């Protein structure tokens, strides 16, 4: 089991306690935030552990990279606090268990990890993916979804096997189609002290590089786009400027709206799993109203899970839901 690099000393002198004061769900003032942070740092119980909706945002809000969200999940597990009902968790553990059917073989071209989303395989075609090997298997599942369940131990149990299988492919780089997979290799694993034996490449970086190679083919799309920022993006916010670059390259305007960037709202799927149906509906309504009000014609997804959760409701509001890779394929003149 890895050990989280969380240091209570780092919080000493942190006057703003951003991890809790900026949380949009707890509603703490500065004094309450400092008091509850101190309790958490001593490993004590706190209402934070029960009231957290696991939006991941405090991991982004901490200006000192101290991993407050990962620490919160460790504490939830230690104290037996379950943000999602246990029977649902147990079902997920069974359904997404590794099957042992992935046999590592040397990959000499670009390895792209599609993880648990075989239904999206038809989207990985055309110039952007022509010289790549697409990997899909429950054996390669990043397992970070269990952060939403208040569980770190299962991730710790499964991640060494995932790293070993990928290392067996002899890869130097792994392109992560799913933002949350990237977060495993670029954030969670290093935070818990695991050596990642390859360089994780975010899909934004990969798409930018492929588009640069095919620059003469690009036609500017002239679309107004809303971006649905996933919860996992809170774990690796450093890649966010790449999305603005991508939109520039394909001639798309990222509409100015309230619920974007650090103020993003999640897709709501996790709130439903937690039995917070009204919160899920409220978040979806505010988010979609905001996209429409801002004049978006398309909604761009970086997370397959958000895409599958929201695509029908997005279409229902007259916007076209698109994976970011499909947006790039459109700019290259490819049929979707
Ligand atoms: S976890 Fe980060 S934001 Fe929170 S008190 Fe510590 S240093 Fe400050
Ligand atoms: S994960 Fe989200 S809801 Fe939970 S404490 Fe952090 S910011 Fe608040």
- Model confidence pLDDT, tens digit, residues 144-182: 999 999 999 999 999 999 999 999 999 999 999 999 999
Are 258 and 246 found together in one domain? yes
Are 212 and 188 found together in one domain? no
Residue pair 48/36 in contact by the 8 Å Cβ criterion: yes
Distance (Å, whole) CA 129 – CA 217: 15
Q: Which residues line ligand 2 (CB under 6 A)?
A: 23, 25-26, 48, 52-58, 69
Ligand 1 touching residue 71 (CB < 6 A) = no
Residue pair 1/153 in contact by the 8 Å Cβ criterion: yes
Q: Domain tally for the chain?
A: 3
Are 241 and 198 found together in one domain? no
Are 95 and 197 found together in one domain? yes
The residue from 61, 78, 95 where one domain ends is: 78
Q: What CATH number corresponds to the domain at position 249?
A: 3.40.50.1860
Residue pair 71/140 in contact by the 8 Å Cβ criterion: no
Mean pLDDT across 63-68 = 97
Position 13 scores a pLDDT of: 85
The bridge status of strand 298-301 relative to strand 252-254 is unpaired
The bridge status of strand 173-176 relative to strand 223-228 is unpaired
Ligand 1 touching residue 38 (CB < 6 A) = no
Nearest Cα residue to atom 2 of ligand 2? 55
Mean pLDDT across 285-299 = 98
Nearest ligand (C-alpha, residue 14): 1
Say if 191 falls within a structural domain.
yes
Ligand 1 touching residue 6 (CB < 6 A) = no
- Domain of 59 in residue numbering reads as 8-78
CA-22 nearest atom, ligand 2: 7
Calculate the CA dihedral of residues 192, 194, 198, 204 and round it to 10 degrees.
Answer: -10
Say if 1 falls within a structural domain.
no
Nearest to 40 by CA among 50, 32, 48: 48
Distance (Å, whole) CA 336 – CA 330: 7
- Helix (H), strand (E) at residue 300: strand 298-301
Distance (Å, whole) CA 188 – CA 261: 21
Cα-based distances in Å from 84 to 72, 75, 76, 90, 91: 15, 15, 11, 10, 11
Distance (Å, whole) CA 112 – CA 178: 10
Q: What share of the chain is helix, strand, coil (3-state, %, to 5)?
A: 50, 10, 35
Task: For a ligand 1 pocket test, name from 41, 68, 73 the mutation site with the most ligand atoms within 8 angstroms of its C-beta.
Answer: 68
The residue from 55, 78, 101 where one domain ends is: 78
Are 14 and 106 found together in one domain? no
Nearest Cα residue to atom 8 of ligand 1? 17
Residue pair 69/100 in contact by the 8 Å Cβ criterion: no
Are 231 and 186 found together in one domain? no
CA 125 to centroid of ligand 2, rounded, Å: 37
Position 50 scores a pLDDT of: 98
pLDDT of 322 > 80? The answer is yes
Q: What pLDDT band is residue 2 in, cutting at 50, 70 and 90?
A: confident
- Mean pLDDT, the chain, integer: 97
Say if 2 falls within a structural domain.
no
Ligand 1 touching residue 41 (CB < 6 A) = no
CA 102 to centroid of ligand 2, rounded, Å: 35
The residue from 203, 236, 261 where one domain ends is: 203
Are 248 and 299 found together in one domain? yes
Are 223 and 317 found together in one domain? yes
Residue pair 259/265 in contact by the 8 Å Cβ criterion: yes
Q: What are the structure tokens assigned to 233, written together?
A: 């993006």
Across 101-234, where does the E strand assignment appear? 110-115, 132-136, 173-176, 199-202, 223-228
Are 134 and 239 found together in one domain? no
Report which of residues 291 and 13 the model is more confident about: 291
Say if 163 falls within a structural domain.
yes
Say if 3 falls within a structural domain.
no
Nearest ligand (C-alpha, residue 40): 1
Ligand 1 touching residue 154 (CB < 6 A) = no
Are 51 and 99 found together in one domain? no
CA-65 nearest atom, ligand 1: 2
CA 331 to centroid of ligand 1, rounded, Å: 42
Are 198 and 221 found together in one domain? no
Mean pLDDT across 9-25 = 95
Residues 6+ apart with CB under 8 A from 31: none
Kindly report, residue by residue over 224-246, the tens digit of the pLDDT.
Answer: 999 999 999 999 999 999 999 99
């Amino acid at each position: 089991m890895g050990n989280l690099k969380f240091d209570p000393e780092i919080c000493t002198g942190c006057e703003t306690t951003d991890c809790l004061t900026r949380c949009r769900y707890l509603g703490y003032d500065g004094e309450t935030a400092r008091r509850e942070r101190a309790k958490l740092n001593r490993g004590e119980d706190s209402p934070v552990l029960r009231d957290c909706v696991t939006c991941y945002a405090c991991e982004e809000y901490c200006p000192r990279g101290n991993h407050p969200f990962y620490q919160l999940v460790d504490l939830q597990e230690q104290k037996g606090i379950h943000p999602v009902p246990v029977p649902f968790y147990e079902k997920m553990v069974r359904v997404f268990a590794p099957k042992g059917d992935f046999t590592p073989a040397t990959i000499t071209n670009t390895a792209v990890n599609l993880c648990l989303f075989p239904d999206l395989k038809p989207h990985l075609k055309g110039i952007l993916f022509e010289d790549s090997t697409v990997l899909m298997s429950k054996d390669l599942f990043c397992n970070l979804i269990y952060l939403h369940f208040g569980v770190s131990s299962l991730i710790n149990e499964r991640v060494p096997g995932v790293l070993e299988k990928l290392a067996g492919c002899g890869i130097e780089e792994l392109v992560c189609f799913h933002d949350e997979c990237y977060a495993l290799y670029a954030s969670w694993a290093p935070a818990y002290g695991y050596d990642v034996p390859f360089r994780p490449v975010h899909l934004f970086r990969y798409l930018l590089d492929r588009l640069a190679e095919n620059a003469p083919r690009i036609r500017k799309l002239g679309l107004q786009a809303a971006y649905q920022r996933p919860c996992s993006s809170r774990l690796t916010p450093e890649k966010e400027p790449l999305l603005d670059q991508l939109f520039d390259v394909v001639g798309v305007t990222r509409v100015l709206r309230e619920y974007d960037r650090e103020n993003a709202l999640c897709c709501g799927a996790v709130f439903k799993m937690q039995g917070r149906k009204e919160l899920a509906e409220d978040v979806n309504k505010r988010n979609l109203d905001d996209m429409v009000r801002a004049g978006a014609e398309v909604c761009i997804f970086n997370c397959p899970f958000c895409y599958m959760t929201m695509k029908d409701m997005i279409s229902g509001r007259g916007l076209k839901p698109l994976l970011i890779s499909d947006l790039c394929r459109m700019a290259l003149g490819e049929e979707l």
